[in-house]
Amino acid sequence: MRRPPGARCCPPALTLCSGRCARSTGLLLALLAVLLLLLPLPAQRSLWLQLSRTPVHHRATTTAAPQQVTQAAQPSPVPSVPPDLGDTYGQDETYSSSGCPKSIRKRIGATEFGATFLPTIPVLQWARHAQEDEYQRLRRYGGAHGWKDIRWDGDPRLLPPAVLKSSLSLLNASSSALLFDTRPLAASCIRCAVVGNGGILHGSGMGPAIDAHDYVFRVNGAITEGFESDVGSRTSFYVFSTNTMVNALHSYAADGFRHPPQTPETCYVFLPDHDRDYLLLRAALSQQRVDSGRDEGVRPQEFFGEDLQVGKFRMLHPDFIRYLRNRFLRSHILATPLWQLYRPSTGAVMLLTAIHTCDQVSAFGFMTPGYRAYSDHYFDRGHKEVQFFINHDLRMEMQLWQRLQRSGILWLYTGSKGT
């Protein structure tokens, strides 16, 4: 694949809080945990939500000089995972048979990620998983990492509603099990462009290079109109949770984000982290309004347009999200009282989904060590500093992109300055 100009590798330059800073942070987190335990459940949920939206400020770090890797790194051992995090997963052979001679799956074993990568990790969930034994296995894990807070079956009048079995059963097309319904006819390798919303893309001129890929992934406030020369115009997969999508619609409406991309090519990939994702999926595939929960009465057509056929929707598997957290983005937050709040950002899940399903991946609009030179988003009307939030570890994600680039797993757009 031809690389866009201006590419070069930058090693990570990240440090974790230590010493007095770490002790102070640990005390603060412990106090927050005690406070949560003393509050009634509704108040606990409200406080969790506020914490997840609280920016976290870090001191500036210095960046080492760029280096070019000349040989494959030795595989890094996978750290032991506490039982509560659940480092055991289902099996899926869907993506193990790529014919591409330079497929990521054929190359990753010789890199530092060889021991981290699981070739049979389930990426998507669909009707096949609507089984009682699968529910019993996954009900141990909460949030995006399992089905703990989602009712399986029973009286739909009870709260939370019985939605899991009924929604997954509707993902029953052959395409529901495979991200790519068909392979490109003109190429033996699936080439994917994964587009974040970072300000590094403003003025980049990367639009034509992005659209030239076989598939294009976008996330959250995926505004393309008026920015085609920098970010392209195609959207093959829009990756979201209902929560992140609704927040983006509220936050970026003034910038032109009225609804997710709605094109004949676009498929919608749920990252389910709440029962509202299963409720919205069920409403879309049954072509009804959402019948309960926070989005009760909402028409799915407002988000996805009028074409609500089953082939337009996919849903990521909770095993996959838990695996990404445990093995690729094992943040220090998991060792704090706030560990249940943490998961990889939606953009990180999108990029790692592509790495697990595509043969070749190019990443655009993701954070690099030179992020301070750019606004938070490419569509910002003025310069806005990048915000860090306690429920994600964006610095660790930035470090991971650098490591994947150096290992030859992806090509990362590093801006006009190559930072």
| 311-356 confidence digits (pLDDT tens) | 999 999 999 999 999 999 998 888 888 878 888 999 999 999 999 9
Is 127 part of a structural domain of the chain? no
Could you tell me the residue range of the domain that residue 293 belongs to? 92-121+173-412
Residue where the block lists tokens 């996954």: 138
Q: Strand 313-315 and strand 360-364: pairing?
A: unpaired
Within a domain: residue 214?
yes
Query: Is the residue at 57 inside a domain?
Result: no
Distance from C-alpha of 281 to C-alpha of 216, rounded to nearest angstrom: 22
Task: Taking residues 114-140, report their average pLDDT.
Answer: 94
Q: What is the pLDDT of residue 74?
A: 56
Whether residue 391 is contained in a domain is answered as: yes
Answer yes or no: is 167 within a domain: no
Supply the DSSP string of 287-311, one letter for each residue. TS---SSTTTT--THHHH-S---GG
C-alpha 111/C-alpha 359 separation (Å) is: 16
Q: Identify the pLDDT of residue 361.
A: 98
Distance of CA 212 to the CA centre of its chain: 23
Answer whether residue 132 is part of any domain: no
Domain membership of residue 160 (yes or no) is no
pLDDT score recorded for residue 26: 42
Helices 41-52 and 19-38, axial angle in degrees (round to 10): 150
In a domain, 336, yes or no: yes
- Could you tell me the CATH number of the domain that includes residue 192? 3.90.1480.20
Per-residue pLDDT tens for 295-323? 999 999 999 999 999 999 999 999 999 99
DSSP category for residue 339: G
Q: Which residues contact 32 (CB under 8 A, 6 or more apart)?
A: 51, 337, 338
**Phi (first) and psi of residue 52, to 5 degrees:** -65, -20
End-to-end CA distance of the chain: 22
Q: What is the pLDDT of residues 387-404, one digit of tens each?
A: 887 888 889 999 999 999
What's the alpha-carbon Rg for the chain, to the nearest Å? 21
Whether the CB-CB separation of 192 and 215 falls below 8 Å is answered with: yes
Q: Count the domains in the chain.
A: 1
pLDDT in tens, 19-30: 333 334 444 444
The pTM score is 0.80
